[in-house]
């Protein structure tokens, strides 16, 4: 009747999430306190450590189980970024569009030409170069919030991130169109599909924004209810875009941007839409860490490394020259190029989406891009934070954060 | 260190400095973009006015050239305003008037990177950050230093007028303070704030200044945060009690009213200033800050209790001739109608806050008003 000596304590799903959260908080603390790195890096490292790549306490299946939470967290950040971009600013200062096009265009062309060295189909090169164009909205929003950053470079960082993410999604869809064309799917489908996605996502975003806009008449005073509303809008956007075969990130980014530009009145959201939103953001980054597999860096060989170098150089030069010309102080223009470095885990999601259409085409891209994304998941946040601090736009001491 | 010579300037010339708020167009909090705006300004040749940094990154100061009348002063202020607002639109920031930011917490402020500002910040600690308040300073030209001191002390009776007419800071940290000008409460906290000593010659003033520098308490005139202080290098006295109004138009009107008042005091010499005038000074000042034109003013000579509204209307009648002479009559007429109807900037802010329901919306409304009115 004695208790079994070989009693095995099975960690269930709740236990694993708890473990991940605690490790994330500890990781964030260690990063900030001892390594002077962004807290966000701590979340990713905690996930990487507990995940299958290192300790294996948390199986990779958890990313599938918690996928709705991850998508919701990502959706919130995309919507938040969109809602920080005021399209009226572009009208008052058209050099911003030039600057954004130069930065993105240079990145696209440079990475595309770099990939010529490797024997890859054109569509694959376009797709990889498209992914290289985008700056990670999730990392940028999180690092800006962590550092309480405000200033001209921060404003431009958010604007350029939103715009280059939109270009990247479009370019990626075009690359899919090219694959359609290669496989005799007909010209109509090759051109019509990207066009359908772009216009459809724009319209859906507009509908979401307008719906959200109408709720102001309800005068929701409680923050919890306003947060619930934002969640509902993001969920609705995600599911509708998915059902209609549109781009989820594009719909949410456009939705946020249109909401912001629809009225002069303010939509006052706290950062990440409040505490619950911030929790989703932590989960998003921790699970990104779980999904990372260091072996991808090796598999890709020199290609991811070269890709990162070329991309970094192109972004740096593109932003430095164009933003400097467009009226940003030279020091800030230089750092803007660095701040734009984080690469998108959005890219991975998109690559998976593409892989869903044509397995061989998508797998190629994933193999090339995953290694680069893995490295940038750790280097990117550090680069952005460094840029915010060196330009004096990060707030030195943490004064509690958020909206006051 | 001895005080410098008082440079003579043409009597009753005007110059205005305004401290402005720089707001984030996302949430209308103060945003540390002074550097960015100054860089934008520097890149434009022949820009109007003078634009300089202030103690924290969320504020900027503009100043006009020297004017002899209201019309050209108002025109220059508008020109500077339009110019800076264009910069604001290109940089995605907003500018506005008002003596305080309605909901900013002082702990959030960042000190502008300049030696003097760091010195002040180290010395005064949180007071320096709390000093993120926005005032209008008006310079009045004086032909001689003794004339300047006469005018300075004669004006002390009228300081509550300037406070009540400009009061535009009812909100601090998101709360209604009940004051029309809560900004001045932050100024009082400084050890060298208040009034200048009762001396009537520049030699005596120099002696006082020598004694003060010998104690090591002050190094320059800049260390005095008096309500009115002589500015020898300009040949002016500087009136520093006004909140930055919500519109440039009202800023110019205030300067015109003060100019007419100074002409009245200089020419008619209705009062001989003396130390006893200051017995009621802080009481009057408090009433003007707290209640605006509804406050009480105790006449220092007669001891009579009046409402500030009546005293201002009475003064307006008395200085009318001088206002007409200076071309300040239209401005004085606008001030008169404001006082009669009780429409001040603080009252406007309270009404907007009530209608819009939040401090950020109020700040947005102030930014819109600054840009257009």
The residue whose two tokens read 């000190």 is B111
Q: Which of A93, A327, A404 sits opposite B103 (nearest CB)?
A: A404
How far is the C-alpha of A85 from the C-alpha of A313, rounded, in Å? 26
Q: Report residue A199 as tokens.
A: 């216009």
Q: Which residues of A touch B28 (CB under 8 A)?
A: 266
- Nearest Cα of chain A lies from the Cα of B39 at a distance, in angstroms, of 7
Q: Which residues numbered 254-273 in A keep a CB inside 8 Å of some CB on B?
A: 264-266, 268
In chain B, what residues touch A155 (CB-CB under 8 Å)? 91-92
Which of the four pLDDT bands, split at 50, 70 and 90, describes residue A334? Answer: very high
Buried/exposed A54-68: b ≥16 CB within 10 Å, e otherwise = eeeebeeebbeebee
pLDDT surpassing 70 at residue A161: yes
Contact between chains at A392 and B107 (C-beta distance less than 8 A): no
The minimum CA-CA distance between B362 and chain A, rounded to whole Å, is: 11
Query: What would the pLDDT profile of B34-79 be if each residue is shown by its tens digit?
Result: 999 999 999 988 888 899 888 778 899 999 999 999 999 999 999 9
**Which residue in chain A has the smallest CA separation from B106?**
A399
The structure tokens listed for A149 are 């950053």
CB of B44 within 8 Å of a chain A CB? The answer is no
Of B326, B328, B296, B325, the residue nearest B309 (C-alpha): B296
- For A399, which of B40, B43, B108 is closest by C-beta distance? B108
pTM comes to: 0.91
pLDDT at residue number A291: 83
Residues on chain B touching A334 (C-beta within 8 angstroms): none
Most confident of the following: A108-117, A222-231, A325-334, B80-89? B80-89
Nearest CA in chain B to A159: B92
Q: What confidence score (pLDDT) does residue B365 get?
A: 96
Phi–psi pair at A159, nearest 5 degrees:
-60, -50
Mean pLDDT of B185-210: 90
Distance CA B369, CA B96 (A): 8
**pLDDT tier for residue B354 given thresholds of 50, 70 and 90:** very high
Q: Is the pLDDT of residue A265 over 80?
A: no
Name the fold adopted by B14-203+224-372. Creatine Kinase; Chain A, domain 2 (3.30.590)
With an 8 Å Cβ cutoff, are A151 and B31 in contact?
A: yes
- Show contacts of A87-91: CB within 8 Å, 24+ apart: A87/A257, A87/A258, A87/A260, A87/A261, A88/A261, A89/A155, A89/A159, A89/B89, A89/B92, A90/A159
Collapsing DSSP states into helix, strand and coil, what is residue B230? strand
Element (H, E) at A371: helix A359-390
Query: In Å, how far is A23's CA from the nearest CA of chain B?
Result: 31
Sequence-ordered strand ranges (E) for A98-202: none
Q: Are A253 and A162 in contact (CB under 8 A)?
A: yes
The mean pLDDT of chain B is 92
Q: How far is A326 from chain B (nearest CA, A)?
A: 10
ipTM at complex level: 0.88
Asked if the C-beta of B25 comes within 8 angstroms of chain A's C-beta atoms, the answer is yes
Per the DSSP assignment, residues forming a β-bridge with B229 are B238
Q: Which CATH architecture has domain A83-136+146-271+302-390?
A: Up-down Bundle (1.20)
Residue B162 is predicted with a pLDDT of 98
Q: Model confidence at B299, in pLDDT bands (50, 70, 90)?
A: very high
The total of other beta-carbon atoms located within 10 Å of residue A159's CB is 24
Chain A residue with CA closest to B359: the answer is: A404
Interchain CB distance below 8 Å, B90 and A393: no
| Cα–Cα distance for residue pair B327/A64, rounded to 1 Å | 77
How wide is the angle at C-alpha A313 spanned by C-alphas A309 and A318, nearest 5°?
150
Considering only the beta carbons, identify the residue of A92, A93, A404 that sits closest to B108. Answer: A404
Per-residue confidence (pLDDT) for residue A400, from 0 to 100: 34
Q: Which residues of B165-199 are buried (b: 16+ CB within 10 A; e: fewer)?
A: bbbbbbbbebebbebbbbbbbbbeebeeebbbbbb
Residue B62 CA to its chain's centroid (Å): 12
Determine, for residues B43 and A327 on separate chains, whether the beta-carbon distance falls below 8 Å: yes
- Residue A347: what pLDDT? 64
Residues of chain A contacting B26 with CB distance shorter than 8 Å:
84, 86
A98, A145, A152, A218: which to substitute to probe chain B, counting the most B Cβ within 10 Å? A152
Q: Both ends of chain B: CA-CA distance in Å? A: 46
End-to-end CA distance of chain A: give it in Å, rounded.
Answer: 61
Q: Which residue of A has its CA nearest to B356?
A: A265
Rounded to a whole number of angstroms, the CA Rg of chain B reads 20
Contact (Cβ atoms closer than 8 angstroms) between residue A251 and residue A204? yes
Tokens linked to A123: 């569509």
CB contact under 8 A, B92 and A89: yes
* Rounded-to-integer distance, Cα A154 and Cα A396, Å: 15
pLDDT in tens, A340-368: 999 876 666 666 666 666 666 666 777 77
Domain spans of chain B, in order of start: 14-203+224-372
Distance from CA of B58 to the nearest CA of A (A): 10
pLDDT at res. A250: 92
Residues of A in contact with B174 (CB under 8 A): 404
- Residue B256 to residues A279, B9, B199, B239, B334: CA-CA distances in angstroms? 57, 18, 27, 13, 11
- Interchain contact, B108 vs A86, CB within 8 Å: no
- pLDDT band of A335, cuts 50, 70, 90: very high
Instruction: Give pLDDT tens digits for A66-96.
Output: 888 888 888 999 999 999 999 999 999 999 9
Q: Do A399 and B361 touch (CB under 8 A)?
A: no
Residues of B in contact with A403 (CB under 8 A): 27, 29
d(CA A130, CA A111): 9
Give the one of B31, B360, B364 whose C-beta lies nearest to A150's C-beta.
Answer: B31
Tell me the count of A-B CB pairs closer than 8 A.
72
Model confidence at A11, pLDDT cuts 50, 70, 90, reads: confident
For tokens 């995309």, the residue is A78
Query: Within the 327-366 window of chain A, which residues sit less than 8 Å (CB to CB) from chain B?
Result: 327-329, 332
d(CA B288, CA A312): 60
- Listed in sequence order, the residues at least 6 apart from B219 whose beta carbon sits closer than 8 Å to its beta carbon are B1, B213
How are the residues of chain A apportioned to helix, strand and coil, as percentages rounded to the nearest 5? 75, 0, 25
Q: Which residue has the higher pLDDT, A188 or B356?
A: B356
Q: Is the pLDDT reported for residue A131 higher than 60?
A: yes
Q: Is B84 helix (H, G, I), strand (E, B) or coil?
A: helix
Q: Which backbone phi and psi does A250 adopt, to 5 degrees?
A: -65, -45
B325 touches chain A (CB under 8 A): no
The DSSP call for residue B16 is E
d(CA A209, CA A82): 11
Q: Do A152 and B36 touch (CB under 8 A)?
A: yes
Which of A92, A155, A388 is best to mutate for the B interface (most B CBs within 10 A)?
A155
Closest-CA distance, B191 to chain A, in angstroms, reads: 28
Distances (CA, A) of B21 to A175, B57, B59: 48, 10, 5
Distance from CA of B31 to the nearest CA of A (A): 6
| pLDDT tens track for B122-159 | 777 766 667 778 999 999 999 999 999 999 999 999 99
- Residue in A151, A264, A399 nearest the CB of B36: A151
Instruction: Please tell me which residue of chain A has the smallest CA distance to B30.
Output: A150
């Amino acid at each position: 009747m004695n208790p079994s000596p070989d009693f095995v304590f099975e960690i269930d799903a709740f236990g694993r999430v708890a473990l991940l959260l605690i490790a994330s908080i500890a990781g964030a603390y260690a990063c900030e306190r001892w390594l002077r790195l962004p807290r966000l890096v701590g979340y990713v490292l905690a996930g990487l450590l507990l995940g299958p790549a290192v300790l294996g306490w948390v199986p990779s299946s958890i990313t599938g189980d918690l996928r709705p939470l991850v998508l919701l967290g990502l959706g919130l950040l995309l919507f938040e970024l969109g809602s920080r971009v005021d399209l009226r600013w572009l009208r008052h200062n058209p050099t911003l569009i030039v600057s954004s096009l130069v930065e993105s265009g240079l990145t696209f062309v440079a990475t595309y030409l770099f990939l010529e060295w490797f024997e890859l189909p054109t569509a694959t090169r376009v797709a990889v170069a498209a992914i290289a164009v985008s700056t990670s909205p999730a990392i940028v929003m999180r690092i800006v919030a962590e550092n309480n950053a405000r200033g001209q470079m921060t404003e431009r960082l958010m604007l350029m991130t939103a715009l280059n993410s939109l270009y990247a999604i479009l370019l990626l869809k075009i690359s899919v169109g090219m694959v359609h064309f290669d496989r005799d799917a007909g010209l109509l489908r090759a051109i019509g599909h990207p066009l359908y996605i772009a216009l459809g996502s724009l319209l859906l975003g507009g509908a979401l924004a307008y719906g959200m806009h109408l709720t102001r008449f309800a005068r929701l005073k409680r923050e919890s209810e306003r947060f619930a509303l934002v969640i509902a809008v993001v969920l609705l956007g995600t599911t509708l875009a998915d059902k209609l075969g549109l781009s989820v990130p594009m719909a949410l980014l456009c939705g946020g941007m249109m909401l912001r530009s629809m009225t002069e009145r303010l939509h006052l959201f706290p950062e990440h839409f409040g505490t619950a939103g911030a929790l989703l953001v932590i989960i998003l980054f921790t699970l990104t860490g779980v999904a990372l597999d260091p072996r991808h860096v090796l598999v890709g060989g020199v290609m991811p490394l070269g890709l990162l170098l070329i991309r970094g150089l192109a972004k740096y030069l593109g932003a430095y020259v164009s933003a400097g010309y467009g009226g940003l102080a030279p020091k800030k223009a230089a750092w803007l190029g660095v701040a734009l470095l984080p690469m998108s885990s959005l890219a991975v999601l998109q690559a998976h989406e593409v892989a869903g259409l044509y397995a061989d085409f998508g797998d190629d891209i994933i193999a090339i891009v995953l290694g680069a994304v893995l490295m940038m998941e750790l280097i990117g946040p550090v680069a952005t934070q460094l840029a915010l601090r060196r330009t004096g736009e990060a707030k030195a001491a943490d004064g509690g954060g958020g909206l006051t | 260190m001895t005080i410098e010579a008082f440079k003579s300037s043409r009597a009753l010339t005007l110059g205005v400095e305004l401290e402005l708020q720089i707001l984030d167009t996302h949430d209308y909090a103060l945003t540390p973009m002074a550097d960015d705006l100054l860089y934008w300004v520097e890149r434009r040749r022949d820009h109007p006015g003078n634009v300089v940094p202030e103690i924290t990154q969320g504020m900027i100061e503009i100043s006009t050239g020297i004017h002899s009348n209201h019309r050209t002063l108002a025109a220059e202020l508008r020109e500077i305003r339009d110019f800076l607002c264009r910069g604001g639109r290109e940089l995605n920031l907003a500018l506005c008037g008002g003596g305080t930011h309605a909901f900013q917490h002082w702990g959030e402020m960042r000190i502008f990177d300049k030696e003097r500002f760091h010195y002040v910040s180290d010395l005064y600690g949180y007071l320096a950050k709390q000093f993120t308040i926005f005032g209008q300073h008006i310079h009045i030209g004086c032909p001689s230093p003794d004339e300047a001191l006469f005018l300075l002390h004669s004006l002390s009776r009228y300081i509550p007028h300037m406070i009540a007419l400009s009061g535009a800071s009812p909100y601090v940290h998101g709360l209604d303070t009940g004051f029309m000008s809560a900004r001045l409460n932050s100024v009082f906290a400084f050890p060298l704030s208040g009034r200048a000593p009762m001396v009537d010659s520049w030699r005596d003033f120099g002696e006082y200044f020598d004694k003060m520098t010998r104690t090591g308490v002050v190094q320059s005139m800049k260390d005095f945060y008096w309500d009115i202080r002589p500015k020898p290098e300009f040949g002016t006295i500087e009136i520093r009690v006004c909140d930055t109004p919500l519109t440039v138009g009202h800023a110019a009107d205030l300067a015109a009213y003060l100019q007419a008042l100074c002409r009245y005091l200089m020419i008619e010499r209705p009062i001989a200033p003396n130390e006893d005038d200051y017995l009621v000074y802080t009481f009057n000042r408090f009433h003007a800050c707290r209640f605006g034109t509804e406050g009480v003013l105790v006449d220092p000579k007669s001891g009579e209790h009046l409402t500030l509204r009546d005293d201002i209307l009475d003064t307006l009648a008395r200085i009318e001739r001088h206002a007409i002479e200076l071309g300040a009559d239209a401005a004085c007429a606008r001030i008169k109608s404001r006082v009669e109807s009780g429409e001040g900037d603080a009252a406007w802010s309270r009404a907007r806050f009530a209608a819009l329901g939040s401090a950020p919306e109020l700040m947005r409304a102030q930014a819109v008003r600054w840009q257009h009115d």
